[in-house]
Each structure stands twice: as C-alpha cells, then as structure tokens.
Amino acid sequence: MTAVPDIASQPPPLAAARAHWTIYLPSLAVALVWIGVYGYAALHQPPLAGLRALALAVVLLGVPVLLLSAALRARVLAVEVRQGRRDGTALELYARGGFIRPREIRIGAGEIASLRLRRSLPQRLFGGGALDLKTMSGDRVRLADLDRPEVIAAALAQPAHPDFGHQEVLR
C-alpha cells in the first residue's frame, strides 16, 4: 500500500490550468447537426420516418453521453507547474486527466525539448488551447482543452533545457 501525499504539505503551484468550457463544443455541434437532420426528415415529403427516428435517438441518447463524457473529463483535467519533488529547485510539469483510465504525468522542465501552444479556431475565438510537448527522449505529450495554456507555457519557457538546439562551431 502506497502512502498518499499530504496535499497541505505541498507548496502551491507556480502556474495552473483546468479544462476550458470549449470542451463542450463538440457535443453542441453533434446536437445541432442531428436536430437539423431531424427537422429535415420531419419536413420532407413524404416524411422520412427511419431517419427521423435515428436523429431523435442520437439527440436523446448520444448527446447526453457526449456531454457526460466532457463533464467528467473537465472535472479531472488539471495541469500545474510545481517545484520539483526531488530537490525542490527544478520545475516540474504535473498533469492529471482521464476518468476511465486515470493518468498522471510528471515531466521535469529540463526534460522538455520543445513546447508548442496550439489553438483551434473556436479556441482562438473563445479562449483556451492545447500544449504539445516533446521530451528529450522523444516522447510526445498533448495536453488539450486547457483554459490557460499560455500561463503554463510561460512558466515552463524559462527553465526548459536552455542548451537544446545549441550548435557548437567545429574547429
């Protein structure tokens, strides 16, 4: 049995981000499309009963499942930049997500080879975004649907492996 770390004993994070409300936009898009399909099937002459029933089933059954999935994902998604656990001086990225398969990631700031902020069109309009990380070992991590990805990126930008990409002149 492993000991659970005491949350009160940990220093507060230097930067934190949670899920952005745009996480619900795909569910809204599915609902609007299938409501439109339902309207088309109902108004078509002769009425398309099979398509209308399918659209109604998707709107009444599928959309709530999508909304529940997004709500559960939004509830557990958290990204923080903290002081490292080992020596307390180096920064560390901590990310938690996944409600079906919970997943925690810890990456030292010195292990990050590249960091990229990405924003889809809705995220550019309404805020939010994603972080794409590449570690020195070549692993790629994508942290999507964050409310303040630029805060996390700014906190990690300074200490992130300063010599990466440095070229030495050969003599």
Quick one: CA dihedral 5, 9, 103, 139, positive or negative? negative
Residue with tokens 């059954």: 61
Residue with tokens 């958290």: 78
108 beta partners:
92
* Runs of H (alpha helix) within the chain: 25-43, 49-57, 63-76, 121-126, 149-157
Residue 37: both structure tokens together = 């399909």
The CA distance from 150 to 130, in Å, is 9
- Mean pLDDT along residues 67-89: 84
The CA distance from 122 to 128, in Å, is 9
Q: Each residue of 18-60: pLDDT tens digit? A: 999 999 999 999 999 999 999 999 999 998 999 999 999 999 9
Given this model, what pLDDT does residue 110 score? 85
At 12, the pLDDT band (50, 70, 90 cuts) reads confident
**Considering the chain, what percentage of its residues have pLDDT values greater than 70?**
82
**Are 91 and 108 within 8 A, CB to CB?**
yes
The CA distance from 56 to 40, in Å, is 12
Q: Which is more confident, 167 or 150?
A: 150
Q: Rounded to an integer, what is the distance from CA 4 to the centroid of its chain?
A: 25
